[in-house]
Structures are given as C-alpha cells and as structure tokens.
Structure 1
Amino acid sequence: MKLLPLLSSLALVLTLSTSPLHASTGPGVAWQAAAADADIERHFAQAKAEKKPVLLYWGAKWCPPCNQLKATLFNRADFIEQSKAFVAVGIDGDAPGAQKLGTRFKVRGYPTLILFSPAGNEITRLPGEADAAQVMKVLQLGLSSGRPVKAVLADAKAGKKLNANEWRLLGFYGWETDEQQLLPVEQRAATLAQLAKASEGADAETATRLWLKSVGALADGQAADPAGLPRLRAVLADAAQAHAQMDVLTNEAPDLVKALTSPGDTRTAVVAEFDAALKRLNADASLSRADRINALQARVDLARLDAPKDEPYPKGLPAALLADARDQASRANREITDGYERQAVVTGAAHLLGRAGLWKESDDLLKSALARSHSPYYLMSQLGGNAKKQGKKQEALRWYEEAFNKSEGPATRLQWGSNYLGALVEMSPEDAPRIEKAAAQLFAEAEKDPGAFYERSERSLKKVASLLTSWGQAPAQAAAVGRLKTQLDGVCSKLDAADAKAKSACEGLLKPKKA
C-alpha cells in the first residue's frame, strides 16, 4: 500500500458545507458537496456565472491518501487562499448517487482531483502522489493556462514546441488517475518515454520526471533500455534531484531497479545507491511524515527485491532497517494527534511492518489505533490481511467479518462485504450457510442503494457474482446460488426501467454463461 498522495503541512481544518466529507468547524476551503447530477449542474452553473474554474475532489472517509490530503494540502494557507479563485466541489464516494457521478467523470480511485474550466471542460488531473508544494504549482499552472492537458499532449505528440510550463503540466499530470482519458494504459510507457525525449532542453526536471515515470509504467518484467541506468544513478546521487522526484522514487523503487538491471553485481550496487537516497528522504524533515514512512517502505521493498513476492517472513533484512521500521512506526502512533494524519500514516506504518515480516508489531499497532480511528473498519480489514498472510484463517475471517459489520456507507459496505465474502470462499468454502448469508446481505443492501450498479459498487457486486459462480459448483452450493439468484432477480425487477445501465448491470451478474 502506497500512501498516495504523500504531502506535507500542519493539520488545521477542512470545511465542506453540508457534506459527508467530515468537515471541521474552523475556516478553510469552502467545499460544496455534490451527490447527484443536479448538484453538479448547480455548481458548474455557478462557476460559469462567476467565470471561475472548478476543482472536483472525489474521496472517501476511510481512504488513507484522502485523509493525507485533508491533513496537508487542503489546509495549507496558500491552497485556502487559492481556492477563492475556483469553485471547490467535493464528492464523498458514499454519498447517494456518488458512484453514478463517478461514471460521469470517469473517476475510480480515491482520491482524484480534477480541474475544469468555467465552461466545464476538463483541464487536468492533479498528481495526488506529489508533495504539496508541487501540487500547488501545478494547480496554479492549470488555473493560469486554462488549456486542457489533452490539447497540450496532442501538440507534444505532433512535435509542436511547448513552453516549460506546458511540459510541467504533462510531467505532473495525474497519470495514475487518468482512467484512459488521455491514453490507453498500454500506450502510457511508450508515450511518456516519447515526451521525456521531446522535453529535453525545455525543462530538465520535467524531462527526468517523465522518463522515470515511463520506466515505472513498463509492464511487470519488461526491461527498459539499460543505457538509462546512469541517468537513474545521477538522480539518486544528487540530493536536490532526488527530493524533486521523491514521489516517483519512493513509489516506483522496485520497478525502476528491475527494469534497468538484472540480478548481479550491478543490481546490488544500484540497490545500495537507491537505499542511500531513500535514507536521505526518510530523514528529510521538510517532507511529511507519510512521505518519510513511504521512503522507508521503499527501502524494505528494495531489501526484499528478489525474494518471493508474497513471502510473509522475509529473511536477511538488515537489523538496522528493522529497527528503523519499529522505531518510526512507534513514534508515529505515539506522536500524531490529528485524526486525518493518523488514518494515513498509521495504516501505512502497519503495512510497512508487515512487509518487513514484523507481524506482531503490525498487529499491535493496528489494534492500538482502533479506538482512535474515525474509520476503524479499515484497520480491521488490514488485521484480516495480516492474519491471512500468516496462515491464521479463523482469525482472518473474524477480522474481515468485523470490518464488514462495522463499515459505513453504501459503497464502502459493498466493497468491504465483497472482501469478506472473498475471504470466506477462499478460506472456508465448506461453510455454505455463512457464505449464503453474507451474499444475501450484500444483495439486500444493493437493493436499497440507487448507485449500487455504478463504478466501485458495481465492481464489488461483480466480484460477489464471480465468487458465487466459481464457488457454486457442487449441488449443495448450487442450490444456495440458486436462491441468491432468485433474490437478485427481485432486486433487478425493482430498478427504474429508465435506468438501462443499472438494469443491464444487475441482470448480468448471475446470468448463466452460454455454452
């Protein structure tokens, strides 16, 4: 789990008028909630009348990177001041109709930040993984330019000359939340490499960023041109460059090394250089605590680079690295008082401890944080994952069930419920009554949720259907799936006939496949 975005600043306040985005009462950004098309139309009409751009934020209460945004970027004085120049619209993924809006704006991952022109045209998607100062610069570039990044990309691909600011818009575009708005995923690596080459001489930092992202975007196991290795080593050796590319280096460390080296002496040397750069970032007080934890996690990932991917107890990790993981996780739990920052950092620290094979420490950290979390079900789900990786099936199922029972919000409950069902099918497939009960509960909740057959909720229900289809092969299991199919047919029959999208999605869930 990478904490995206990893930004830095003092935790002050986030204000969202009449919104489920967990506002506090102090001054801050005047976010306006949106939960349906009518809300969006009203906010965009306001933007057009006031000749202001729109900044759309899509997030969720439990989401660690969303909480990191609330603890950092959204309360920066310069961001709050800048927000007066645009209409700030917030969509909570668990609000009624929110998942339907997700389809409209083609957003999936939490968080997503999109800047629109006053006329409602998408300008750019902001990079959630960059630090706050960088995001602010990109936001200001988008506000001042008003030119859609899609047009900028088309000019760049056509060989037209771009200025440094236009290259920067491309370099800091939110490629991870693009959802194929600009490019099909399979074209991303090659296009980023093309842009990196074309931008040389215009803006060195952006050219390097585009190149690093192009290497990181390569399909797993695909090698990059080894001639680029000296370029990576130069970035790692230069503290200023490494700081500027912090988010890419910490999030893509294993992929960068694997793409540019093969197992052997060169890889060993590059890992040592990478580790030294990550140590500097981990100690950099100008970065947020989440950024520093992420740098430490990248060190752990590199230390187990050639180990089996899912090895629960990695061997041979340096004692000093394990000590750092224990110490920094403990200090984060002890020192952080802001609830948003805790949700972001403590969950990341627990994941870090698990990656290091320190399962007891990870479990203890999560359990100690439960009472202080505004979304404890997220931590319960992590505890379930920890137990599963350690082979503790019954403990894992207990935590997954509790996480589902305690989860809040329609989209979140479907997501957590599908995770619980998946754990049951995998670890206790013989428990047909429990599996049927969980699936029946999910279909009952979907019946009450008008957005159940859109975006994240639809994906959760498709997961449920897929699990039941694969599980329901034996006669006793097939009978249970038959009863669930009857229940689902009832849900589908009650959907608004005018909503063809929802109808089709519902009716296709447990539909028998043609021979």
Structure 2
Amino acid sequence: MKTISSLMVALLATSVATGMTVLPAYAADSKAASASAHAAQAGIDWRKDNNVDAAFAQAKASNKPLFLYWGAIWCPPCNQVKATIFNRQEFIDKSRHFIPVYLDGDTPGAQKFASQFKVRGYPTMILFKPDGTEITRLPGEVDSERYLQVLTQALNTTLSVQDTMKLALAGNKNLKDEDWSLLADYSWDDPEQKLVAGKELVPTLLKLSELGPAGLHATRLYLRGIYAAATAKPSQTVPAIDKAQATEKVLKAIADPKTARDNMDLLSNGAKEITEFLTTSKSEPRTKLVNAWNTALVKLADDASISKTDRLGAIIAQVSLASLDNAKPEAALQKEVQKRVGLIEQATSDAYERQSVVNAAAYALGGAGLLDDSDALLKAELKRSHSPYYFMSTLGSNAKKRGDKVAAANWYEQAYNAAKGPATRLQWGSNYVSSLVELAPNDDARIEKAVQNVFGEAAKIDNAFYERNRAYLEKMGKKLTEWNKEGKHQVAYQKARTQLDGICGKLPAADPQKTVCQGVLTKS
C-alpha cells in the first residue's frame, strides 16, 4: 500500500570486502515454520472462489460482516500480514464472526472486482457490513496487537467510519474512545480511500486531531496530518501550519516511549519527509529533531516485541535521516546497519516473513550505500523465495544506482521472464518496458519486442484494462509516447500502436475497458 506513500533482506552471503560472515541456509527451520504458518491460515475458512457476489449473499444471509483481503503472492507487505496477523489464533478465532474473502490480484476477475471496491495497493483489507456498506479499511502497517484491537472495534461498531467522521467533524460529543480509535487507525494513506477527497485529506486530518479528546488518537491523527502535508501533491489543500509549534508537538510525541511505539509506522515512514517539511537545512531545529528521532528509532529497532520488518523499517528511517541535506551515511552507521540486518535475517526462517524481511533489509543496505551487500543478500534469496522475480527487480534497481545500465536492464528482463500470474506479468512487463525506455532508449528492437510481448499478454486477459493492470499499462504508454515525442522511434511506436488498436477493436463497444485501451497510447 504505502510506497511511501507512502514507501520499501537480510544477509545470507558474504562480502569479503566488508568482512561479513556467511550465514547458514535456513531450509529445515523454514519448512517447519512455513508449515506451521500454512496450518494456522488453513484454520481460516477463506472464500477463494472469486464469487464475491455469492460471498456478500452469504454475509447477508448469516448476518455477518464480510472481510475482504486483497493481495498478491509476491507482495512483501502481504507476506508480512500473513506471517504476523493471519497466522495468529486471535485472528483465526475472530474470523468465525465474519465471512473471510481472499481475493488474489492474479485470479480471474480480480482486477474488475478491484475496480468495483476501489482497491489497488497490496495489501488492502476492508470490513463490510452484511448489506455491503464499507465499515472501515484496516491498516496493514500497524503491529498485530494494534491490528486485532482495531478489527475488534470495527466488528463491534454500529457505525461506518464514514458516518463516524461526519459526526466527529460536526462536533458530536457522544463519540466514544473506540470511535476515535477507528478514525485514527483508518487506512488514510490508501489512495483509494473514500472518506474524503484527496485534496481535502490534510485539513480533515488536522481538524479531526483538534476536535478529538487529547491523547493517543488525537496525536496519531495529528502525525498523520503532518505527514500528509509533508507529502502533499500540488493539487492538495495544505492549510497554514506553524512549523515551529508543529515541530514541538512532533518532538513531544517522539520523546514519549509509549506514543512512539504506538505510532511506529508513522515514525518510520515519515521521518525524513516530516523533518524536511518542518525544519530548514542545517538549522538548529533540524538537528534537534533528527537527534530525537534517531533516539526513538534506535529503541524501536531494539524492541523485540515489534515484527522484524518493522524493526528494519526503523533502521531504514535512520538511513533516510542520515541522507538529509545531501549527506552520505557515515561508516559507523553502515556498520550498524550491517550488524542489525544480519541479526534480524538470521532470526527469520518463515518463508512468508522472509519475503518481507529480505525486501526491507535489502532496502536498508542499499540506502546505506552497501549495494554489494544488498546484492549478495538478494542473489542468495533468489533460490529460496517463492517469488524471486520481486528481488530481481531490486537487483535491477541496485545496478541502476551504480550506473550499470546494461546489468539493470538485464535484471528487469529476467524479472519479467520469471514473473507468474497474469496481472503480475503485466506489471513486471510494463515496468521492464518503462525501464528499457530509460536505460536503453536507442535499442528500438529490444523495446519493440518487449512491448509486443506485453500487449500480446494483455490481449489474452479478460481484465487487462482494469485497476492495477490499467494503471501500469497507462504508465508504460506514457513512457513510450514521451520516448517518441520527436518522432525518432516512429517505426517501433507505430507497430505498438497498431497492435494495441487490434486489441481495442475486439473489445465490445459497451465494455468500459475499450475507452481505457484506446487511451493507453496517445497519438504521437
């Protein structure tokens, strides 16, 4: 969901230059742990038939809420949810009180359902009333205890979060602590959330933080509001903010261990962005804020009660703060990152959790300038991961950072070739084409072949122009149109145009996909 917004390993091999030790394979422990996780999730009576209408009919007939999980096999945050939430007995027990629906993005009809329910980012989790009214979008970035608390409150509430928000903004004094909790923990960073228009997100969050009773929920809403302001797009409304006052409020939240722990996702995801937004380069307030933030992040990274991925998130945040004002991570921080990443990786055996941990660890190492270490980790994981193509893309990103365009393009190609699932292949294929346009713009033959393959696959998919598929194909189309804006690649571009026209022409006139298809490549 959050791409940092949103936003982004572990050490399995050795780099002689850094003196890192080779870590043992985790095969035996992994099989046992994964078997345990599979067994636990098997205790949830997931509907996986993609018959969402029948699932809602079942919910209505049984007068139970419906829990929709939208995810993908390769997605690191999805694997994190499986490893830390879905395998917990408390969640399994609660699942008896709702109709659990598992909607994988690669299954038939999934992208069309995604368009219907406004879900795009993996994972998205929504709780609906039996009549289909959306109760809330559950946060995938909080720890399991917090998640289960929010889920319990959502199951017990008689109001949707949308109705609760309206009452809160109207100044209703009868709202309970649980109501404010659901507002504070709503998945506000979901670009598809329907509570408020995107342009009104910042003022709404800040106003809610003022209207709510002082305490944890008001603080969380305020931090969300400041982060939203720090990352706002030009089209969004950002009210005047007293940045000195805001800095003091953030410092107060960071300094309190309980508040910091309860808002660990915001402290990790928003460290750099909020600091840049509230303070000026190399100023005393910035130094003070960075120091306080680092102190809190070290405590989070050391907190064994937090998931391994979230602990790595705190390390990533430290690295991002170190890059402020165009600085480079110092050797001491690099060694600390190596040490912490290694310890966390060695303690991770479950296959689900590794997909998430290795992703975060590789990002931490790469951000700290340890690209060789990141590569060694990722290459070792290729043999173990159930979705190695995800890590091939990261290897491509690392090569790109080095300036090795040939290696980067080759890794992106390998990732596309290895990708599985129709929606996943369209995503990886689109990314491969977009990367080729950037890395090898004069290789018309290679780009032409890649585009031909992607459109060829799109032609075979019923939902090729819905939701995530649509978004990635449109992004690729814009790249290609920009690539040919001066007509230098007209032959290759026109072949792509002709192929796409053939696909669009076969779609029924009443099919919403037809217009989308026709807009993927604009006239050059």
- TM-score above 0.5, yes or no: yes
d(CA) in 2 for partners of 1:25, 1:80: 8
Question: Which residue does 2:225 correspond to in 1?
Answer: 214
In the other structure, the counterpart of 2:480 is 468
Residues 468, 259 of structure 1: CA spacing in aligned structure 2 closer, same or farther, 3 A cutoff? closer
**Alignment-derived partner of residue 151 in structure 1:** 163
Instruction: Write out per-residue CA displacement over residues 236-295 of structure 1, whole angstroms, 9 at most, x where no aligned residue.
Output: 222122111111111111122223322311211221111011100100011111111001
Kept in 2: contact 1:94–1:409 (CA 8 A)? yes
Query: In the alignment, which residue of structure 1 is the partner of 2:285?
Result: 266
Task: Tell me whether 1:457 sits opposite 2:469 in the alignment.
Answer: yes
Q: 1:279 aligns with which of 281, 298, 301?
A: 298
Counterpart of 1:311? none
1:262-341 matched pairs, under 5 angstroms:
262-263=280-281, 264-307=283-326, 315=328, 317-341=329-353
Q: Does 1:130 align with 2:170?
A: no
Q: Does 1:490 align with 2:505?
A: no
Residue in structure 2 matched with residue 20 of structure 1 by the alignment: none
Find the counterpart in structure 1 of residue 85 from structure 2: 73
C-alpha distance in 2, partners of 1:56/1:88? 6
> Alignment partner for residue 205 of structure 1, among 213, 216, 219?
216
Could you tell which deviates more after superposition, 260-269 or 67-76? 260-269
Aligned to 1:61: 73
In 2, are the aligned partners of 1:333 and 1:365 still within 8 Å (CA)?
no
> What code does the residue aligned with 1:485 have?
R
CA distance in 2: counterparts of 1:406 and 1:260, whole angstroms: 43
Mark the CA change 1:340 to 1:258 in structure 2 (over 3 Å): closer, same or farther.
same
Q: Which moved more, 1:49-58 or 1:218-227?
A: 218-227
Cα distance in 2, alignment partners of residues 26 and 164 from structure 1: 31
Tell me the residue number matched to 1:86. Answer: 98
The 3-state SS of whatever aligns with 2:403 is coil
Query: 1:448 aligns to what SS in structure 2?
Result: coil
Q: Residue 181 and residue 2 in structure 1: after superposition, are their counterparts in 2 closer, same or farther (change >3 A)?
A: closer
1:165 corresponds to = 178
Conserved 8 A contact 2:41-2:87: no
What CA deviation, in whole Å up to 9, does each residue of 1:74-102 have, x standing for no partner?
01111110110000001101111111111
Q: Hey, what does 2:391 align to over in structure 1?
A: 379
Mapped to 1, the partners of 2:269 and 2:108 lie a distance apart of 33
2:514 to 497, 503, 508: 503
Mapped to 1, the partners of 2:56 and 2:359 lie a distance apart of: 36
CA contact (8 A) 1:5 1:130 kept: no
Q: What amino acid is aligned across from residue 213 of structure 1 in structure 2? A: R
Larger mean CA deviation between 412-421 and 171-180 belongs to 171-180
Task: Indicate yes or no: 2:252 matched with 1:234.
Answer: yes
- Distance in 2 (CA, whole Å) between partners of 1:454 and 1:187 is 26
Question: Is 2:400 the counterpart of 1:388?
Answer: yes
1:189 aligns with 2:202: yes
Task: Report SS of the residue matched to 1:31.
Answer: coil
Cα offset, 1:47, TM superposition:
0.7
Write the distance in 2 (CA, Å) between the matches of 1:172 and 1:25.
26
Rounded Cα–Cα distance in structure 1 between residues aligned with 2:41 and 2:488: 57
- The offset of 1:463, in angstroms, is 1.8
The aligned amino acid for 1:177 is D
CA contact (8 A) 2:41 2:86 kept: no
The Cα offsets for residues 4-46 of structure 1, whole Å up to 9 and x where unpaired, read as 999xxx966799xxxxxxx6687421111153xxx01100111
Per the TM alignment, residue 487 of structure 1 is displaced from its structure 2 partner at its CA by: 1.3
Looking at structure 2, the residues matched to 79 and 170 of structure 1 have their Cα atoms a distance apart, in angstroms, of: 21
Structure 1 residue 418 displacement after superposition: 1.1
Deviates more, 1:180-189 or 1:294-303: 180-189
Equivalent residue in structure 1 for 2:375, among 363, 380, 389: 363
Identical positions, percent: 45
Number of aligned residue pairs: 490
Q: Determine helix, strand or coil for the equivalent of 1:465.
A: helix
C-alpha contact 1:12 1:75 (8 A) present in aligned 2: no
Given the alignment, which residue of 243, 248, 251 partners 2:266? 248
Matched, 1:424 2:411: no
484, 489, 499: which is aligned to 1:477?
Answer: 489
Secondary structure of the residue that 2:178 maps to in structure 1? Answer: helix
**Partner-residue secondary structure (3-state), 2:47:** strand
Give the AA of the match of 1:287. I
Q: Distance in 1 between matches of 2:487 and 2:55?
A: 54
Q: Is the contact made by 2:441 and 2:483 (CA closer than 8 Å) also made in structure 1?
A: yes
Q: Distance in 2 between matches of 1:14 and 1:113?
A: 23
TM value normalised by structure 1: 0.91
- Could you tell me how far apart the structure 1 residues matched to 2:42 and 2:231 are? 45
Please state whether the residue corresponding to 1:72 is helix, strand or coil: helix
Contact between 2:5 and 2:189, CA under 8 Å: does it hold in 1?
no
Are residues 1:445 and 2:457 paired?
yes
Provide Cα deviations, 1:296-345, integer angstroms capped at 9, x if missing partner.
Answer: 111111111221xxxxxx53x23332112112222343332111100001
Can you list the C-alpha shifts for 1:352-379, whole angstroms capped at 9, x where unaligned?
A: 1111111111111111111010000000
> Structure 2 vs 1, CA of residues 111 and 469 (structure 1 numbering), >3 Å: closer, same or farther?
same
Q: Residues of 2 paired with 1:412 and 1:14: CA distance?
A: 27
1:32 lines up with 2:47 in the alignment: yes
Specify the code of the residue in structure 1 equivalent to 2:133: N
Greater RCO (CA < 8 Å, at least 6 residues apart) = 2
Aligned pair in 2 of structure 1 residues 167, 435: CA closer, same or farther (>3 Å)?
same
Gaps of 5+ in 1: 16-22, 308-313
1:447-470 residue CA offsets vs partner (Å, 9 max, x unmatched):
001110101101111122212212
RMSD (Å) for aligned C-alpha atoms? 2.2
Partner of 2:133: 121
Aligned CA distance change for structure 1 residues 210 and 14 (closer, same or farther; 3 Å):
farther
CA displacement, residues 137-196 of structure 1 (integer Å, 9 cap, x when unaligned): 111111101311111111111111221111111000011125141112221111111000
Secondary structure of the corresponding residue to residue 336 of structure 1: coil
Q: Which structure 2 residue ranges, 5 or more long, are not aligned?
A: 9-31, 233-237
Q: What amino acid sits opposite 2:301 in the alignment?
A: N
| Change beyond 3 A, Cα 1:249–1:5 | same
